[in-house]
């Protein structure tokens, strides 16, 4: 066995040894980074890495054998494009340069897996979290080679994700179950036993009236939580908002930055139930490719690419995508994001992030 065949076979054997999706995701990313680590490989590395992340994200229910086949195909195609780099992989493997599991966050961006629950109240809470985490986990990805000393905004923090799950399960879902029209549309005359959180959304989205009722009830609960004006002009928070503020508090020391919950943040949180993961992944793949190619050579092109995508997502989610670039793309620093903010109109969360920036 000569040339590129030996390292190819060795890595395929390593894929066969790994028995979990997260491990395969980490391994194929590391392998590709070793093969495409030279400056002239920057564009191909960005494209390949984005394709890998998108596949593992969108194929959250795919079995390990199919994921192994995908990894082997990516490896073979990359070696075919850069056959001279196979020796780089051999040297990297021998030097044991693979990062520790805690250093490689690619797998943390994977959406949740479907689950089964006993009754409709439990299924509803779990299904809401299931859909929400398809959006929130998108923001958990990190490039381990990039260090950012700025405390992350709440959507970029897994700690916030866990606390928000508590809010949904203990406050939002129970409040929805107190709305008679919602209960009548969902619970009466239907059997939910044996329906997974993924199947729940397939059923709901197929019946437009059910989807409209669910989304209207979800938004209604959040709107009831908004502060209102008293007769003397003071803003008064309802008790439900006071409780949610306590649950979502960043802690001490803080794990993330969270503005005081008012209308703007509540509107954003209500948007998290939207089915946005697919479009977000597609935009991210394009965005990372442009930035990795142009951030040094033609920074104005990279700035425009990021700024153009801020209004492309609802509820100011585009601002968090811009901030996510700081944690994942070499060359994107706070000075770069200030140019993005200057090229954008009316950013809120990006400005807050820059006000806390370390550079």
Which residues neighbour 233 within 8 Å (Cβ) at sequence distance 6 or greater? none
Residue 115 lies in a domain: no
pLDDT tier for residue 112 given thresholds of 50, 70 and 90: confident
For residues 229 and 326, state if they share a domain: no
pTM higher than 0.85: no
For residues 104 and 179, state if they share a domain: no
Domain's final residue, options 249, 271, 293: 271
For residues 247 and 158, state if they share a domain: yes
Task: Tell me the C-alpha distance between 201 and 199, whole Å.
Answer: 5
Residue 288 lies in a domain: yes
Q: What is the pLDDT of residue 41?
A: 72
Evaluate the CA torsion angle 266, 350, 140, 24 in order and state its sign.
positive
For residues 164 and 27, state if they share a domain: no
Task: Tell me the C-alpha distance between 78 and 18, whole Å.
Answer: 20
Of 114-123, 157-166, 174-183, 184-193, the one with minimum mean pLDDT is 184-193
Residues of the domain holding 11 = 5-109
For residues 128 and 262, state if they share a domain: yes
Do residues 266 and 222 touch, judged by C-beta distance below 8 A? yes
Of 234-238, 249-253, 262-266, 354-358, the one with minimum mean pLDDT is 354-358
Q: What is the pLDDT of residue 163?
A: 95
Q: What is the pLDDT of residue 100?
A: 42
Residue 133 has pLDDT above 70, yes or no: yes
pLDDT digits (tens, 9 = 90+) for 211-251: 999 999 999 999 999 999 888 888 899 999 999 999 999 98
């Amino acid at each position: 066995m000569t040339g590129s065949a030996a390292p190819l076979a060795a890595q395929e054997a390593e894929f066969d040894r790994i028995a979990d999706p997260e491990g395969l995701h980490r391994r194929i990313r590391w392998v590709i980074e070793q093969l495409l680590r030279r400056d002239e490989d920057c564009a191909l590395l960005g494209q390949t890495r984005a394709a890998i992340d998108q596949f593992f994200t969108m194929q959250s229910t795919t079995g390990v054998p199919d994921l192994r086949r995908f990894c082997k195909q990516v490896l073979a195609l990359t070696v075919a494009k850069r056959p001279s780099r196979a020796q780089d992989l051999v040297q990297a493997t021998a030097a044991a340069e693979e990062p520790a599991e805690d250093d490689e966050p690619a797998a943390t961006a994977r959406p949740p897996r479907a689950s089964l629950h006993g009754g409709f109240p439990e299924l509803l809470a779990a299904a809401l979290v299931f859909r929400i985490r398809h959006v929130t986990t998108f923001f958990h990805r990190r490039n381990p080679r990039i260090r950012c000393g700025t405390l992350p905004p709440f959507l970029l923090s897994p700690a916030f994700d866990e606390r928000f799950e508590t809010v949904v399960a203990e406050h939002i879902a129970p409040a929805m179950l107190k709305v008679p029209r919602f209960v009548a549309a969902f619970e009466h005359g239907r059997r939910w036993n044996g329906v997974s959180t993924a199947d729940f959304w397939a059923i709901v989205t197929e019946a437009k009236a059910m989807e409209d009722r669910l989304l209207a009830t979800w938004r209604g609960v959040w709107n009831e939580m908004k502060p209102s004006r008293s007769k003397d002009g003071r803003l008064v928070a309802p008790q439900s908002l006071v409780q949610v503020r306590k649950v979502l508090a960043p802690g001490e020391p803080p794990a993330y930055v969270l503005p005081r919950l008012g209308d703007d943040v509540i509107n954003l949180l209500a948007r998290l139930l939207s089915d946005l993961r697919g479009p977000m992944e597609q935009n991210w793949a394009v965005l990372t490719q442009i930035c990795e190619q142009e951030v040094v050579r033609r920074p104005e092109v990279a700035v425009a690419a990021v700024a153009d995508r801020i209004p492309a997502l609802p509820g100011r989610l585009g601002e968090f995508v811009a901030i996510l670039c700081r944690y994942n793309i070499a060359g994107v620093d706070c000075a770069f994001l200030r140019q993005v903010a200057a090229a954008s109109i009316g950013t809120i969360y990006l400005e807050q992030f820059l006000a806390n920036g370390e550079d």
